[in-house]
Structure 1
């Protein structure tokens, strides 16, 4: 099975999606809690600035040698990645593809069917790429979840291409 998906159609740039590398992406979300918690919009620059400031402050207080608590935090994060169920917001990929002015919808083409959603709804979608620490090889490479989580128990599976039309 091919794990690469291409966003094409009425876009200025075709985008190649490789779900295998998203585990390292800071935008990933934990799907076990994502749809059950209140979502707040984040300013990415502000979040980055806060994280860097926190790290810098910690280094000044504790030195560059990592204390046992930081090692424990790293171990916890590693375990979380190895056993977690993750997804990533679809919106940044749509923005990078720069859909054309006459584009109105996004088609998710699966091996059996075509799912059509508006651009607005598509920009709220989440692309699931891992379940319990494993890539979605059997029915993937991605699962597509609506932004409101209404299809959390039955996501769109077997997606092989995404067409903006």
Structure 2
């Protein structure tokens, strides 16, 4: 259930999509392709900021360090257990530091290899969870282009990304 980024990169890396469910960069399918935003989420964020400010004032008075990790509330837990999530690929490609002359990327899948433009790849998203569960069939990830042009036919079963 891992995906490797290799080829003409300074740092080959291995991705584990099963831990992305806890990553704040994940996006839901409707957020990406339907432009839908969750209004209750922004309201919850505003309330969380107010509570955080209040907590910081109290902690400052007591002179202790506040906790760094945000706990998962009931709403977020339900969202994680039922959601279909995508992860932007750009931060991972940036971390691998591809060479300046990289123009193409080969996606090694269950059915062979598919070559796409490196710029298109960097703007793409990886589907890693469907209905709250990691992708078992044709997994570990499916690739969707940012413009949604392959929304009905994503590239499935990606095991390795080789930058050329």
Q: Give TM class, smaller chain.
A: 0.7 to 0.9
Q: Secondary structure at the match of 2:98?
A: coil
Distance 2:123 2:4 in 1: 19
Tell me the equivalent position of 1:19.
17
The gaps in structure 1 that reach 5 residues or longer are 40-49, 65-70
Cα 1:51–1:126 shift into 2, 3 Å: farther
For residues 2-29 of structure 1, the C-alpha deviation after alignment (integer angstroms, 9 at most, x for no partner) is: x111100000000101001000111000
TM-score by length of 1: 0.78
2:151 is matched with 152
Give 3-state SS (helix, strand or coil) of 2:99's partner: coil
- In structure 2, the residue matched to 1:136 is 135
Q: 1:155 to 1:7 in 2, by over 3 A?
A: same
- Maintained 8 Å contact 2:110/2:138: no
Could you list the structure 1 runs, at least 4 aligned residues long, displaced by more than 6 angstroms after superposition: none
Structure 2 unaligned blocks of 5 or more? 38-45, 60-70
| Residue aligned with 2:151, SS | coil
Q: Where does residue 8 of structure 1 map in the other structure?
A: 6
Taking a change above 3 Å as real, the CA distance of residues 60 and 99 of structure 1, as seen in their structure-2 partners, is closer
Aligned partner of residue 122 in structure 1, secondary structure: helix
Distance 1:117 1:100 in 2: 17
Q: How big is the shift at 1:157?
A: 0.6
- For residues 1-165 of structure 1, the aligned pairs below 5 Å read 3-37=1-35, 54-59=50-55, 74-165=73-164
Instruction: Normalising by structure 2, report the TM-score.
Output: 0.79
How many residues are treated as equivalent by the alignment?
145
Pairwise CA distance, 1:38: 7.7
Moved more, 140-149 or 108-117: 108-117
Q: Compare 4-13 and 115-124 and name the one that shifted more.
A: 115-124
Q: CA, structure 1 residues 29+104, in 2 after alignment: closer, same or farther (shift >3 Å)?
A: same
Q: CA deviation at 1:101?
A: 2.0
